[in-house]
Structure formats: C-alpha cells, structure tokens
Amino acid sequence: MSPATPVVFIVDDDPSICRSLLRLVRQTGFEGHSYGSAEEFIEVQKGPLMRPACLVVDLQMPGLSGLELQQHLQQGAARCPMIFISGNGDIPSTVRAMKHGAVTFLTKPFDNADLLRAIGEALERHRAELSSDRQVRQVRDRMAELTERELQVMSWVITGALNKQIAAELDIVEKTVKVHRARVLEKMQAQSVAELVRLCSLAGFAAATSGSAVD
C-alpha cells in the first residue's frame, strides 16, 4: 500500500522524442525511463511491475512495433497500460491497439496536456489492476496450501451444501467433513462461509456442480 512513485516508460526510436517526453513526465512528478526500442524495454523490464506504471510507445519502430510489443507484454509478467503515439497511424492499427486494451492513441503532434491526461488515466487503471491482482494472488497463495481433499470439501462448502451432503458426495463420514471444513476456513483465513465464498469468487475458484437460483 506504499505510495510508490508512479513510473512512466517511454519507448521510441527517436531520441529527441524520448528526451522531450522524459522531461515532461519528470516535470510532472513521475519517474521516467526511456528506451530506444521495444526489445530494449523487454530486456530491461522482465519482472512483474510492483508499482503503478504505464507505457508511452511509438507505433512504428525498427524491430518490434508498438503493437507487437503490446502483444508480447500481454502474455508476460510486465503487463501495464499502454499509450500509443504515432506520426502516421492508421485506423486499423488504432482499432487493434484499443481492442487490446490501449488507453488511447495519440497522433503527433499532440498536446502535452492530452498525453498527461492519458498517463493519469493509465496509471490509475494500473493502480486498480495491481491492487486487484494482489488480492487474487493472496487468495491463490492460501488456496495452494490446501490439500486436495480440503480443496474438494471447499468446493462443496461454497455451494452451501450441508456437511451431511458433502459427506455423501465424497463418500466419507460427516465428522471428517467437519474437520476438513474447519481446516479450510483456518488456512483460507476466512471467519465464515460467507467470507470464504467471497474469497473464492474473487480468485475465480468455481464451486462444485451447484444448482444456481438464477438461470
């Protein structure tokens, strides 16, 4: 929850653009780093980002293009919102970038205020994403400590099934279910079934074959 300074990464093959943008973001109070190519950025920024960040990237560059960089990052660890800038971008590129989650697509020459607005939005988006990811990871970590049996029991508990029903389902005695259930709540650090349900839904953990009340 530490308010680490947001960082803005700039990827452009034109050094003068890099310098100019760096100056702008630093003046605004962000940390800034620039890279002359997508490959260079990928090389340097391998691990997952631990603080709010965003990318300002040129569409056309020698080597990997902005769109290719976007695609590359989406399946990597260093995902973060991207802002595209381009001197002569086209609509198909814009559509593709936006469909893949770009914050915006600016055409040169652009207004500094527009870029800063976009950066603000990107950082905010990333902040929310990081926070959500942290929660999910935390829940997943706890879930990883469960034994296979406990996982099975949990998947039934969160459907609202009674211990008796779970016991029948797993072909064990009700007493055993109680033991597992208790350990599940303990390991998951949930004070109640309601909270357990919440945690599981947060982590995208599906309940066992349950009948939902809504079609």
Residues binding a second copy (CB under 8 A): 1, 89, 91-92, 94-95, 98-99, 104-105, 107, 134-135, 138-139, 157-161, 188-195, 197-199, 201-202, 207, 210, 212-215
Q: Which is nearer to a second copy, 94 or 176 (CB)?
A: 94
Is residue 210 close enough to count as binding DNA by CB under 7 A? no
Is residue 208 close enough to count as binding DNA by CB under 7 A? no
Nearest to 204 by CA among 162, 155, 169: 155
- Chain centroid, CA 85 distance in Å: 23
Q: Which stretch binds DNA (CB under 7 A): 28-36, 72-80, 88-96, 146-154?
A: 146-154
- In contact, 123 and 52? CB cutoff 8 Å: yes
Q: Which stretch binds DNA (CB under 7 A): 45-53, 73-81, 94-102, 170-178?
A: 170-178
Q: How many residues can be counted in the chain?
A: 215
The DSSP-derived string for 50-119 is -S-EEEEEES--SSS-HHHHHHHHHTSS----EEEEESS--HHHHHHHHHTT-SEEEESS--HHHHHHHH
Return the residues of window 148-167 that contact DNA according to CB under 7 A: 148-150, 162-164
Is residue 182 close enough to count as binding DNA by CB under 7 A? yes
Q: Which is nearer to a second copy, 170 or 202 (CB)?
A: 202
Report the distance separating Cα 170 and Cα 151, nearest Å. 12
Q: Which is nearer to a second copy, 71 or 94 (CB)?
A: 94
Report the distance separating Cα 61 and Cα 13, nearest Å. 6
Nearest to 150 by CA among 183, 198, 191, 174: 183
Q: Which of DNA, a second copy, none does residue 91 bind (CB under 5 to 8 Å by kind)?
A: a second copy
Smallest gap from residue 193 Cβ to a second copy (A) = 6
Q: Which of DNA, a second copy, none does residue 99 bind (CB under 5 to 8 Å by kind)?
A: a second copy
| Tokens read off for 80 | 């973060």
Which residues of this chain interact with DNA, rule CB under 7 A? Answer: 147-150, 162-164, 170, 172-176, 178-182, 185, 192-193
